[in-house]
Structure 1
């Protein structure tokens, strides 16, 4: 089938440019190079091999000769044998191929030799079928010995990456993926074999435009709007988005490639050499069993299975550099799926598919994960910080992370005799970054105000001012009213109930700290007879807002006394969120099988493994699973 696909691609390449495509070299037979991050593109030979230190420049045109050349390209595995994890019952298994499985913890490395893949078995391992039932004879073996290598018996999904090359002379060729224009006309590159349709959605003849071929489009590209079905960036890292005119025919969207000739937008990969982003939603096909990620980016107990198709409506990114991750949100749910490493996302090469955990036809442009759930304030200079009265209490340096704001509020500035808008900041966040995976995110609590005018950027959730400038002026010198004091009493009277709830107990430490700080400030203000109307109103709002952000809840499991590995991982992540702060941390310890004592480990089973809190003095305390999970 792959051979036929390549032939189709080669045979219809001319059709891909069949609207006024020249055959012989002429003054108009040119290609224009697309923008790149460094302004140049390496050239290759006719076999697709890079020619050292030889480049063409972005945005420049070059004459090309003859018809474009299609080469088969290299074979690429789209999977790794160790990624083929299967969840059966309460355990996690590694596929051996041909219907056989071993416990995943017993096969943690693999290697390739002479075109074959081998799994290294690190512990004597029984072999199981897809239902978790032991197989007593699997290809002549009743079990696999520790230290042995087992040849993987399944087929690893793979693909070839054909290249369409344009001959620019002297044995030099340019890969079509870097071409913005052919003969002065803009082009799209296809991500799939594509039929041509007329204005009524009927196929035009038997023409098939080949995958990866370039197709001249009709009309001009234009600035994208929020309703654009797809878009691309005008230049590398540009903020300006562009698209093409589209036509809705029945249930599909098309672009015009000539008079009464259209192709579906789902088949487009590049526009003028730039990666296309779909507005969404898009369809994902799961490559291997995968545990969904919750809205806190912790593992959940939800599993999506190999081959399953799901719909994603948006994507987010978290971190930067080699530790950046991309997450696709599952439409209509509270779950994400981990795309994989994001330092080069999106990438239009086949390697992009190799590193991803699912297949997609078109990428979604990511937004920042933090912006989905917070108002984020950033600074490009050192700025003053203020208390609730608008008095300077310190400063914030640029580059020290971003800050979470929970309210916008006008505060009267008596020295300048005017009201100014301030943001109340509750946390500082530093996303993971760098070149190694050991980089950890940082989050610390704070309770301060900054002037809105000092902020460089404010992104994410929109904040509406809690008061007006006139109210700030009027309330500046007023003693807090009885009505406000009564509201404060009501909030303070509910503290014990709130703190006994799962919403409070199981919220992460920083969320609880924000609520605790707001309570402490309100309690102090309530007991001060000179507290002003402005301060009391501000602190009441802080308590109400921080209380609403409490979102803790127990993990739902099937049996509290017999946890699956997936359930244990979700509980462990929750325990870490709740308890990891200062020098306190949570670990897992497992009983030795043949002697007394415990050792740090991954979760084994509910009978031997224990969740342990290690306090600031390194003393260990067992955590009660029932406080964090329910069945």
Structure 2
């Protein structure tokens, strides 16, 4: 293929007013800054990603160019089959959008066609700079509250149209996204569908780009090559997120992680088994083997506190485990029931772990920890008794009844543990205080509530989906005698909800182990309300 390398120069008058803008293009206006003839023309590739190579026909070549590689710039900006390239070798080209720097000088990359302005913010009637074009720049300037990049003498472009500076992506805190097709819906952070439907081309303001708890679920990852799907949070909404598969963003936002924004994780860093400690500063019977995978050696924690360690006669900082269980496998292959160990209120030493996510501050002092290592009196336990007494009303509440079984189990386990602390004559003040706090935390985790609907007799699909989840949570009740599976089904245009439960004598869904099947109609009003 013959490439026309003819360069058309703009008029001398325009050149004088627009210089210096280093954009070289094929079959379009050229504007350049005066430079020394001895300067070497080079291209520096993306500092992070590998760069593809192409031949003169725009066909992808096999090998890649390493990040942050400096190459000879052997042509101006060329157009091959509608794409922009630079020639960097014999029949070797790279896309213009892979350029981080021209001639090792400050360079920006446009992601939108850009008008040119003067230092008053008034548009100058010169050629528009095209997107995916590398442009030399010479500093920034704020004009009437708007950030600009200077690209020539008294010539500026808006920062809003710049995708990268010297190869570094320019992330924004807020932007808007454009809906790709009719019928797109938003989701809650847990993946439930919201009612509002959006039209193709509709623009929505967003203020976060992040992985939510639903990102890695099959409902979303299956449509993204089994990779977790990030979401854009709709600005001004409490729980409405748009899948990145359904929208096109105006500007890039740095992806965050919902879990790291809201929770704290401790990764064990020692070359040994990970001990789990008690509130009394002694190792428990449970350890996480060193042979466990990294996932098991990273635990969620929710409190940092001093605990008196009697063997060392000093107080040390410990993190409290969020879960009442830890996984203790001796490798990657195991049965869940064999390695899931109950620890109740377990701790890991601060000195043994590395923390990510939300930073936690100590809730007590070393002196208080020493004082609380004493045996609790009846008066010390009175607060715990009051917390336990709340359980009667809590268990009658929607918060308890409609929440996930795991949350109910966690509260019940904590309630049992609190009762044991209350009844033990050896319980320390620290153990009593921890029991009060932990039982209160488990009560806060009871987040069940009825779904708010417009008309309970005419449910929308999104409303029915949320009711389905609440009804499942409510009826997912542990039965030690049998292994069971529950099925819920809406019918009659979401007016009827039926629960079917199958009980098996073994943990295998095989008809020969089926003990019995029960079916009953549920009252939708038990899970939804119009108020």
- TM-score with structure 1 length normalisation? 0.66
2-side partners of 1:259 and 1:188: how far apart? 17
Comparing both chains, which one has the higher relative contact order based on Cα–Cα distances under 8 Å and sequence gaps of 6 or more? 1
Query: How do 1:216-615 and structure 2 match up within 5 A?
Result: 216-219=136-139, 246-278=140-172, 280-288=173-181, 289-317=183-211, 318-319=215-216, 322-340=226-244, 356-381=245-270, 382-393=273-284, 394-396=286-288, 397-401=292-296, 402-427=298-323, 447=344, 448-460=346-358, 462-480=359-377, 482=379, 484-576=380-472, 585-589=485-489, 605-607=493-495, 610-614=498-502
Provide, for residues 423-472 of structure 1, a one-character-per-residue CA deviation record: whole Å limited to 9, x for no partner. 21133799xxxxxxxxxxxx998632111222222313x33323211111
Q: CA deviation at 1:357?
A: 0.6
Provide, for residues 88-126 of structure 1, a one-character-per-residue CA deviation record: whole Å limited to 9, x for no partner. xxxxxxxxxxxxxxxxxxxxxxxxxxxxxxxxxxxxxxx
Which protein is richer in strand relative to its size?
1
2:322 match: secondary structure: strand
Q: CA deviation at 1:578?
A: 5.3
- For residues 537 and 444 of structure 1, do their structure 2 counterparts lie closer, same or farther at Cα, with a shift above 3 Å needed? same
Q: CA deviation at 1:194?
A: 0.6
- For residues 327 and 166 of structure 1, do their structure 2 counterparts lie closer, same or farther at Cα, with a shift above 3 Å needed? same
1-side partners of 2:279 and 2:378: how far apart? 18
2:395 match: secondary structure: helix
Kept in 2: contact 1:35–1:58 (CA 8 A):
yes
1-side partners of 2:401 and 2:424: how far apart? 30
Partner of 2:74: 65
Partner of 2:51: 41
1-side partners of 2:124 and 2:417: how far apart? 72
> Unmatched 5+ residue regions in structure 2?
1-8, 11-22, 328-339, 506-513
User: Is 1:18 aligned to residue 31 of structure 2?
Assistant: yes
Partner of 2:508: none
Match of 1:31 among 43, 67, 70: 43
- For residues 429 and 362 of structure 1, do their structure 2 counterparts lie closer, same or farther at Cα, with a shift above 3 Å needed? farther
2:470 match: secondary structure: helix
The higher radius of gyration belongs to 2
Kept in 1: contact 2:186–2:243 (CA 8 A):
no
1-side partners of 2:123 and 2:397: how far apart? 62
Partner of 1:50: 60
Q: CA deviation at 1:509?
A: 3.0
2:230 match: secondary structure: strand
2-side partners of 1:65 and 1:31: how far apart? 9
Superposition RMSD in Å: 3.2
1:563 match: secondary structure: coil
Deviates more, 1:446-455 or 1:302-311: 302-311
- TM-score with structure 2 length normalisation? 0.77
Kept in 1: contact 2:194–2:240 (CA 8 A):
no
- For residues 464 and 184 of structure 1, do their structure 2 counterparts lie closer, same or farther at Cα, with a shift above 3 Å needed? closer
Kept in 1: contact 2:107–2:135 (CA 8 A):
yes
2-side partners of 1:263 and 1:198: how far apart? 9
